[in-house]
Amino acid sequence: MTSELRDLYQEIIIDHSRNPRNSGQLETATGEAKGNNPLCGDRVTVYVELGDGKIVDAAFEARGCAISIASASMMTEHIKGLTVEQAQIAHEEFNNHLTKSEAPDLKQESELAALMGVRNFPTRIKCATLPWHTFIVALKGGADEITTE
Ligand code: ZN
């Protein structure tokens, strides 16, 4: 990875963590779930509104590190408009990209690529995946708190 690209990725993460998109409650939510990453102290609530098998809207409330907030922000932007199946595939791909040994071949126009630098910091991977795990529980309508441990 070039240093310019790394700088760009860092800027995207900082921007999302300081100005999170879709932050706040979602009155129209059809499902919500809470996630907890005790290793870092990240807490996130993800709200999802489903309609016609699609994610009509999504929002989150989070307290935690920049990685977890940026990941939640990017995720809510990424999943809006996807079908349930597409969103589940996106979750699997995101997980695989962060945890598989070979480097991911990501389209660089996807902002999610900015989080791939987390691969180099194994203790932070759960910060990035927490919002996604929580989202999948919310998608299924569940409200129980999930934890990464
Ligand atoms: Zn964290």
Q: Domain boundaries in the chain?
A: 3-147
Question: Could you tell me the distance, in angstroms and rounded to a whole number, from the CA of residue 140 to the centre of ligand 1?
Answer: 24
Average pLDDT over residues 46-55: 96
The fold of 3-147 is: Sufe protein. Chain: A (3.90.1010)
Residues 106-128 pLDDT 10s: 655 578 888 888 888 888 999 99
- Look at 13-22, 57-66, 120-129 and tell me which has the smallest mean pLDDT: 120-129
Residues 6+ apart with CB under 8 A from 52: none
Question: From the CA of 123, how far away is ligand 1's center (Å)?
Answer: 9
SS3 call for 49: strand
Q: Residue 105: its pLDDT value, please? A: 66
Distance of CA 1 from the midpoint of ligand 1 (Å): 23
Residues 6+ apart with CB under 8 A from 41: 63, 64, 65
